[in-house]
Amino acid sequence: MRREFRQAVAIGLCELLVFLPVIGDAARQEARPRPAETTSLRDYLQKPYLELFELAPKLEFSAEEIQNQRQAFQNGEKVCVTRFTLFAARKFRWVQRKVEWQPPPTQG
C-alpha cells in the first residue's frame, strides 16, 4: 500500500513538472504587452533576438527611419570614440607625470 502511494505521488509530481512550464509560459505570453504599431525602430532594437525573429516577418520600416537610425549609430560611435580618446589621453598624461616623478630614496 505504501509503495503504491509513493508511485502515485511520483507520477503526479512528474506530470506537474511537465505541465507547469506550459501553463506558466502561456500566462507569461498573455501578460506581455503586444507591440504597438507606433513602436520606433530604436525600440525594436532594444528587444531580445528571439522576439525580433518572431516579429520580423510583420515589421516594415521606411527608408527614412532606417537612415535616421544609421545616422544615430554613427553619431553615437563618434561620441564614444571621442570620449575614449580623451580618457586615454588623460590617462597617458597621468602616467607620464607618475613616471617622471620619483620619490626620494628611503634609507632603511
Cell readout for 87 is: 580618457
Residue at 105 is within a domain? no
CA distances from 69 to 53, 64, 72, 85 (A): 19, 9, 5, 24
Could you report the per-residue pLDDT of 90-108, keeping only the tens digit for each? Answer: 999 888 887 766 667 777 5
Residues listed for the chain:
108
Provide the number of structural domains found in the chain: 1
Residue at 20 is within a domain? yes
Could you report the per-residue pLDDT of 75-90, keeping only the tens digit for each? Answer: 999 999 999 999 999 9
Residue at 60 is within a domain? yes
What range does the domain containing 86 cover?
2-99
Residue at 108 is within a domain? no
Residue at 69 is within a domain? yes
State the burial class of residue 69 (Cβ atoms within 10 Å of its Cβ: 0-12, 13-18, 19+). Answer: middle
Q: Quick one: DSSP state of residue 106?
A: P
Q: Give the pLDDT confidence score for residue 36 in this predicted structure.
A: 45
The mean pLDDT value for 50-58 works out to 90
Highest mean pLDDT: which of 2-6, 43-47, 96-100? 43-47
Residue at 26 is within a domain? yes
